Amino acid sequence: MPSSNPPTPNASTPSGPAPTSKHPARRDLTPYAWLSIATAITTISLKTGAWVLTGSVGLLSDAAESVVNLVAAVVALIALKVAARPADKSHHFGHTKAEYFSAAVEGVMIFVAAVFILITSVERFINPAPLENVGLGLVIVVIASVLNGVVAAVLLRAGKQHRSATLVADGKHLLTDVWTSAGVVLGVALVALTGWERLDPLIAFAVGVNIIVTGWKLLAESVAGLMDVSWSKEENAKLARLVRAHINDDVNVHALRTREAGHLRYVEMHVLVPGSWTVLEGHDVVEEIEQAIMNEFEGCRVSIHLEPREDPRAYGDYDHEVVIPGD
C-alpha cells in the first residue's frame, strides 16, 4: 500500500542535478604567510650583518623591526589556519574573525619595535659613535629593502583580492619596514657625508615615531573588525541601489544591515510581500535578491526574513537601517 506521507527533501532520486554550494571554499592563503616568514628570516640576516659592519644604531633598529616582522608573520600563519576552519558546534559562523587578532598582534608588535628604536636612538644620541664600512652596509640594507618591498606588494595585492585582514596587515607591516630602511639609509649616508654622528640616531628616532603611527592604524582597523563594523559607505550605497531594484508595488525591503567578519561579509534584511502569496512565490523573490547580492559581492552571506506587508508586526524592527536611496 503506498505511503500517504509527502516525499522528503533530498530524495534518492532527485528530479535534477544535485545542488551545489552557494559559497565555495576559500583559497588556502598560508603560502603567503610562509613567504613572509622566509622574507623576514632573510632580511634579519642581511640587516644584522649590515649593523655589525657599520655599528649604526639606525641599522640596528632596522634589524630589530625585521625580528618583529618574523614574529608577526608566524602569528599571521596561525591566524590564517584558524580562520580557514569551517563552522562547528561552538562556532556556527566559522572562525574568520581570527584574522583581526592577527592584525591586532601586528599592531602591538610594531609598537614594541618602535619603543626599542626610540630608546636605542636616544642612547646613541647621548653617546655618539663613529660608523664604519658604510658603503657595504648600505648596499646590504638596500637589497633587504627591495626584497621587503616586492613581498609587501604581493601580500597587499593578495590581501585585497581575497579580503584577508591578515595579509593586508602583514603587507602594510613590511611596507613600513621599507620606509624604515629608506630613512635609515638616508641617515647613515648623511652621517658619512657630513661627519655629524648624532644625525644617525635622530633619523632612527623619526623612523620610530612613524612606525607608531602605522601601528596605531592597524590596531584601530582590527578593533573595528571585532566590533562588527558595517561595510564602507560606498559598498552600503551600492548594496542599497541593488536592493531597491527589486522593490515594486508588491515587494518592499527594510531592516537592511551589513557587517564584516574577516574575509566574509554579511547582509540581513526583511522582505515584505503580500500575505496572500504562496510560500513559493515569496521564496522566489528572496532567492532572486539573495543571488543578485552574492553575484555582486564576493564572500557574502545573505540572511533574509520574509514578512507579510499587511501585518503591523512586520514594521519597526530596528532603529538603524541602511537608507535605500529614494525612500
Check whether 107 has a pLDDT greater than 80.
Answer: no
The bridge status of strand 252-261 relative to strand 300-308 is unpaired
Closest C-alpha to 70, from 30, 46, 34, 117: 34
Consecutive H or E run containing 272: strand 264-273
Which of 43-47, 222-226, 236-240 has the lowest average pLDDT?
222-226
- Phi and psi at residue 88, in whole multiples of 5°? -140, -170
Which residue blocks in the chain are alpha helix, DSSP H? 30-54, 57-83, 98-126, 134-161, 165-194, 199-226, 233-244, 279-296
Which of 3-7, 203-207, 250-254 has the lowest average pLDDT?
3-7
The pLDDT value given to residue 128: 75
The pLDDT value given to residue 226: 74
All residues at 6 or more sequence positions from 25 whose CB lies less than 8 Å from its CB, including other chains: none
Q: Express each pLDDT in 165-194 by its tens digit.
A: 778 878 887 887 787 778 777 777 777 777
SS3 per-residue string spanning 182-247: HHHHHHHHHHHHHCCCCHHHHHHHHHHHHHHHHHHHHHHHHHHHHCCCCCCHHHHHHHHHHHHCCC
Report the length, in residues, of the chain.
Answer: 327
Identify the residue with better confidence: 291 or 118: 291
User: What type of residue is 201?
Assistant: P
How far apart (Å, rounded) are the C-alpha atoms in residues 227 and 225?
5
Indicate the pLDDT class of residue 251, thresholds 50, 70 and 90.
Answer: very high
Q: Express each pLDDT in 1-11 by its tens digit.
A: 444 444 444 44
- Which whole-number Å values give the CA distances from 113 to 6, 64, 109, 122, 180, in the listed order? 67, 7, 6, 14, 11
How far apart (Å, rounded) are the C-alpha atoms in residues 83 and 90?
14
- Which whole-number Å values give the CA distances from 98 to 7, 66, 226, 303, in the listed order? 42, 23, 9, 22
Cβ atoms of residues 213 and 247 within 8 Å: no
Cβ atoms of residues 140 and 46 within 8 Å: yes
Share of the chain above pLDDT 90, in %: 22
User: Which triple of cell numbers denotes residue 111?
Assistant: 609598537
HSE toward the beta carbon, residue 2, CA cutoff 13 A: 3
Task: Give the chain's domains with CATH numbers.
Answer: 30-226 (1.20.1510.10), 233-314 (3.30.70.1350)
Indicate the pLDDT class of residue 151, thresholds 50, 70 and 90.
Answer: very high
Closest C-alpha to 318, from 257, 236, 243: 257
The pLDDT value given to residue 281: 94
How high does pLDDT run on average in the chain? 79
The pLDDT value given to residue 276: 94
The pLDDT value given to residue 318: 60
